[in-house]
């Protein structure tokens, strides 16, 4: 049976058992600041047990027929749907995500598991035409795909359940064992999620759950790990890539969420989308709308509509279904965001709404006339702040965006096919969203960035390819 709705501790799940350790840290409610439980840290000796258990389990996961793995994933997805309200409640209390957004995320995670099940029965190789060369003539060549073995999955706090599903689902569907290390700021949420998955029929040997930064640092160096999948900041992603040696990695990292509003854009649609998608999840998304470049002919009208929409959002208790914007993850994060807002104002930006915080609750903030060199434009804000700036030349905007270190997603609103194609061809991004903002992700689609925004792609079909390795087979007559 499941434990109480809000776990009092985030335990470790190692070799089929829930265990504790001598070291732990407090889990805090970001809205109230109250202590809500404790998170056990995984010491080196328990991590070794987890690594050994995963290594032993990997051959069995790979040997199970794909259709059986898919069946277990679908059963687990159904159980996630049955416990959506409980999971959303824990997420709201622990991370500050508004509960209605939490319900949506939980249901999306179930879809992600289902999509993984579908893709897991379609893992395929290809025939290589050997007769195209003299040395290959008369031979039969096929390329096959096999699971890598043990996947280390390191997940963030901002969309803890669905981003965990994006790692667990494809890894299991393709026949791998997993060691999961969630963010300490969403550890209680992931404890509950793992309980739900296990109750739904996921075999215990498929998963090890560990906690703590020390465990994460050791995971990326552990020889038992074959593949590392990480979602988080670009700074930590660079450390993982440096420390992982020759092992393959998938890194889903940061961004600065540019959205372009061209001269022929529909004003109401673009302003409404940018207002919603800059403040949703308190801006704590790597594809959140952070920077909006608006053609000068629409600029004043756009800024007026954007500010009015943002000012109408309701902030407060994430457990209230009427709340649009809850707290950010911690008071320290709010202070960092406030510093970026204050810096932008010193650079000459106009504050149209918001601009203050209390504890971890940052008021939704709109800044206009922000210089492109401001830190609020160049750095990932990861908070409910949107910077708006006018432009005259579309190609100059493309150059400005490409000059930055990030390359995750950019949106463009335009009625011109020529402008849309120019954006697709010019912008060095993981995705370009036409007549939509930077904030868009569908769980079956390829997702990821270039440059400082990451390596590899998520989305079940694409993650399965990342988490399998190619083996070429030649048959001689």
Q: CB neighbours (10 Å) of residue 229? A: 28
Under DSSP, the state recorded for 315 is B
Give the C-alpha separation, 392 to 25, whole Å. Answer: 52
- Alpha carbon distance 279, 276 (integer Å): 6
For 151: left if phi > 0, alpha if psi spans -120 to 50, otherwise beta; the answer is beta
Candidates 42, 274, 286, 293; catalytic one: 286
Q: How far apart are CA 472 and CA 477, in angstroms?
A: 16
* Interhelix angle 187-199/160-173, nearest 10 degrees: 40
The residue among 360, 69, 335 whose CA lies nearest residue 205 is 69
Nearest CA-CA partner of 12 in 52, 36, 43: 43
Angle among Cα 95, 18, 236 to the nearest 5 degrees reads 45
Q: Work out the burial of residue 65: count CB atoms within 10 Å of its CB; fewer than 13 is exposed, 13-18 middle, 19 or more buried.
A: exposed
Q: Does 286 qualify as catalytic in the annotation?
A: yes
| Neighbour tally for 355: CB within 10 Å | 19
Q: Which of these is catalytic: 105, 119, 195, 252?
A: 252
Identify whether the C-beta of residue 458 lies closer than 8 Å to the C-beta of residue 253. no
CB-CB contact of 334 with 359 (8 Å): yes
73-95 burial: b if 16+ Cβ within 10 Å, else e: bbbbbebbbebbebbbbbbbbbb
**99 contacts 92 by C-beta, under 8 angstroms:** yes
CA distances from 61 to 56, 58, 207, 302 (A): 10, 5, 10, 54
Cα–Cα distance measured from residue 322 to residue 170, given in angstroms and rounded to the nearest whole number: 35
Tell me the C-alpha distance between 262 and 420, whole Å: 10
Q: What is the rounded CA–CA span in Å between residue 81 and residue 319?
A: 19
Give the residue numbers annotated as catalytic, written as ranges.
252, 286
């Amino acid at each position: 049976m499941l434990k109480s709705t809000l776990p009092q501790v985030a335990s470790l799940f190692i070799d089929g058992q829930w265990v504790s350790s001598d070291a732990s840290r407090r889990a805090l409610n970001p809205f109230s600041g109250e202590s809500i439980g404790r998170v056990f840290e995984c010491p080196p000796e328990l991590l070794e047990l987890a690594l050994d258990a995963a290594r032993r389990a990997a051959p069995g996961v790979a040997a199970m027929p794909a259709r059986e793995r898919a069946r277990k994933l679908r059963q687990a997805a159904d159980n996630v749907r049955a416990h959506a309200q409980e999971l959303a409640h824990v997420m709201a209390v622990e991370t500050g995500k508004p509960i209605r957004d939490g319900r949506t995320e939980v249901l999306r995670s179930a879809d992600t598991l289902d999509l993984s099940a579908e893709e897991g029965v379609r893992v395929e190789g290809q025939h290589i035409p050997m007769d195209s060369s003299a040395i290959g003539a008369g031979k039969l060549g096929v390329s096959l795909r096999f699971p890598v073995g043990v996947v280390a999955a390191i997940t963030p706090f901002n969309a803890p359940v669905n981003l965990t599903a994006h790692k667990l689902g494809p890894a299991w569907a393709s026949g791998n064992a997993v060691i999961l290390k969630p963010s300490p700021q969403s550890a209680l949420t992931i404890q509950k999620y793992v309980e739900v998955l296990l109750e739904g029929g996921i075999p215990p040997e498929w998963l090890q759950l560990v906690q703590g930064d020390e465990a994460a640092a050791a995971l990326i160096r552990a020889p038992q790990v074959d593949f590392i999948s990480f979602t988080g900041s670009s700074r930590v992603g660079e450390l993982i890539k440096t420390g992982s040696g020759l092992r393959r990695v998938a890194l889903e990292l940061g961004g600065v969420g540019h959205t372009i509003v061209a001269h022929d854009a529909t004003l109401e649609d673009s302003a409404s989308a940018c207002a919603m998608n800059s403040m949703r999840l308190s801006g704590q998304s790597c594809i959140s709308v952070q920077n909006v470049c608006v053609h000068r002919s629409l600029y004043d009208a756009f800024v007026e509509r954007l500010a009015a929409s943002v000012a109408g959002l309701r902030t407060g208790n994430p457990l209230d279904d009427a709340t649009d914007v809850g707290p950010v993850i911690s008071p320290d994060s709010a202070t960092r965001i406030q510093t970026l807002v204050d810096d932008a104002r010193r650079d000459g930006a106009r504050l149209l709404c918001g601009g203050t915080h209390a504890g971890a609750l940052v008021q939704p903030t709109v800044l206009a006339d922000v210089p492109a060199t401001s830190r609020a434009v160049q750095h990932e804000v990861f908070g409910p702040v949107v910077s708006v700036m006018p432009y005259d030349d579309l190609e100059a905007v493309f150059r400005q965006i490409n000059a930055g270190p990030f390359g995750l997603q950019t949106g463009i609103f335009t009625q011109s096919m020529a402008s849309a194609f120019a954006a697709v061809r010019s912008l060095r991004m993981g995705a370009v969203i036409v007549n939509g903002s930077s904030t868009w992700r569908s769980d079956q689609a390829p997702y990821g960035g270039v440059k400082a925004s990451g390596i590899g792609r998520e989305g079940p079909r694409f993650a399965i390819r990342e988490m399998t390795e190619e083996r070429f087979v030649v048959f001689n007559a």
